[in-house]
């Protein structure tokens, strides 16, 4: 469904030499995500998660390698065909991005109107989608009358209104409390079970650990690990001999004797998001 072949994404190529920002957003990434997969994309801020998602959407074009979505090399799609690619991809964000002056029904219908669906198709399909995300009976509510979790459900409904084969979620639970997040994850899981490929970038370790789905960890633009039923982090806390605590990469040789691990990663980078 989605295949990255040696994908490198360098922002601002002109200042590549000598600049500290020269490190690539993605660095020689090769990965394949199959139809119907549910993959978590984890990693510190600036590790390349957003770059990964934006490459799939062709918001940006890779500077090296190729990105294939549904069998097409996205870099080769002429610009006037890009909308067609995007119709096959739903996107959900941390900040919901609902239209404040439209009610729930209109927000979802908007996505269908934009691609030119008929009024009757919209009338039939929107309630179905709202039911799928668990918002029956709230069609007439305005976004500011909804809780965060409900708003995110509307956003998900909008993302899947045009029946995309791929759903990208960029920290969809980032603004939500754990209990609400579980509800959102159930919705995403249900969508995944209907056959939609879901890729979710997240910092929410609790969710990743409990879902036991594929986990792709990015760090500094490289894939650090790719496990089929992974956890949020493979790092474990260790206490150094001088008494300080830090997290260390848990590969199996160091698991028993953490003190011999020689590579340390800060689990939470400073919040310098990629542009």
Partner 1 sequence: MKLGFILGEVGSGLRRNLSMVVSVVLVTFISLTFVGTAALMQMQITQMKGYWYDKVQVAIYLCGEHNEGTNCAEGAVTEGQRGEIESMLGSAAVKPYVENFEYESKEQALTHFREQFENSSMSETVTADQLPESFRVSLVDPEKYQIIKELFSSMDGVDVVVDQRELLEKIFSIINIASFVAIGIAGVMILCAVLLVGTTIRLSAYLRRRETGIMRLVGASKSSLQLPFVLEGVISALIGALLASGVLWAAVRFLIDDKLALDYKDTAFISTGEVFMVAPWLILLGVVLAGVSSLVTLRRYLKV
Report the nearest approach of partner 1 to the CB of residue 83 (Å): 4
22 binds partner 1 (CB under 8 A): no
Map residues 59-98 to x or -, x wherever contact with partner 1 holds by CB under 8 A: --------------------xx--xxxxxx-xx-----x-
Q: Considering only residues 21, 22, 76, 99, which one is a binding residue for partner 1 as defined by CB under 8 A?
A: 99
Q: Which residue stretch of 9-17, 33-41, 157-165, 240-248 sits at the interface with partner 1 (rule: CB under 8 A)?
A: 157-165
57 binds partner 1 (CB under 8 A): yes
Q: Taking Cα atoms as reference points, which of 88, 74, 2 lies closest to residue 37? A: 2
Q: How many residues bind partner 1 (CB under 8 A)?
A: 27
**Do residues 122 and 198 touch, judged by C-beta distance below 8 A?**
no
161 binds partner 1 (CB under 8 A): yes
**Do residues 213 and 40 touch, judged by C-beta distance below 8 A?**
yes
Q: Considering only residues 47, 152, 162, 219, which one is a binding residue for partner 1 as defined by CB under 8 A?
A: 162
DSSP-assigned letter for residue 175: T
Q: Which residue stretch of 114-122, 170-178, 245-253, 263-271 sits at the interface with partner 1 (rule: CB under 8 A)?
A: 114-122
Classified as helix, coil or strand, 12 is coil
Rounded to whole angstroms, the Cα distance separating 199 from 214 reads: 10
Measured at the CA of 88, the angle between CA 115 and CA 95, to 5 degrees, comes to 85
114 binds partner 1 (CB under 8 A): yes
Q: Taking Cα atoms as reference points, which of 40, 21, 11 lies closest to residue 218? A: 40
123 binds partner 1 (CB under 8 A): no
11 binds partner 1 (CB under 8 A): no
Contacts to partner 1 from residues 181-240, by CB under 8 A: none
Q: Give the residues lining the site for partner 1 (CB under 8 A).
A: 57, 79-80, 83-88, 90-91, 97, 99-100, 110-111, 113-119, 158-159, 161-162
């Amino acid at each position: 469904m989605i295949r990255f072949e040696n994908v490198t994404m360098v922002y601002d190529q002109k200042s590549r030499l000598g600049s500290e920002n020269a490190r690539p957003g993605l660095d020689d990434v090769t990965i394949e995500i199959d139809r119907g997969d549910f993959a978590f994309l984890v990693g510190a801020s600036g590790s390349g998660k957003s770059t990964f998602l934006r490459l799939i959407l062709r918001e940006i074009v890779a500077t090296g390698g190729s990105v294939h979505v549904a069998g097409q090399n996205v870099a080769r799609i002429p610009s006037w065909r890009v909308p067609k690619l995007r119709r096959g991809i739903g996107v959900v964000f941390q900040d919901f991005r609902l239209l404040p002056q439209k009610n729930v029904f209109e927000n979802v219908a908007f996505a269908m109107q934009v691609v030119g669906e008929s009024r009757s198709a919209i009338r039939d399909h929107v309630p179905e989608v709202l039911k799928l995300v668990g918002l029956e009976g709230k069609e007439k509510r305005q976004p500011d009358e909804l809780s965060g979790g409900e708003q995110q459900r509307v956003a998900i409904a909008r993302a899947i209104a045009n029946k995309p084969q791929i759903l990208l979620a960029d920290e969809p639970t980032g603004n939500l409390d754990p209990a609400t997040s579980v509800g959102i994850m159930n919705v995403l899981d249900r969508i995944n079970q209907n056959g939609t490929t879901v890729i979710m970038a997240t910092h929410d370790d609790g969710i990743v650990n409990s879902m036991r789905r594929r986990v792709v960890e990015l760090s500094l633009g490289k894939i650090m690990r790719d496990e089929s039923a992974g956890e949020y982090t493979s790092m474990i806390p260790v206490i150094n001999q001088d008494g300080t605590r830090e997290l260390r990469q848990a590969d199996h040789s160091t698991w028993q004797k953490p003190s011999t691990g020689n590579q340390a990663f800060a689990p939470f980078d400073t919040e310098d998001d990629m542009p």
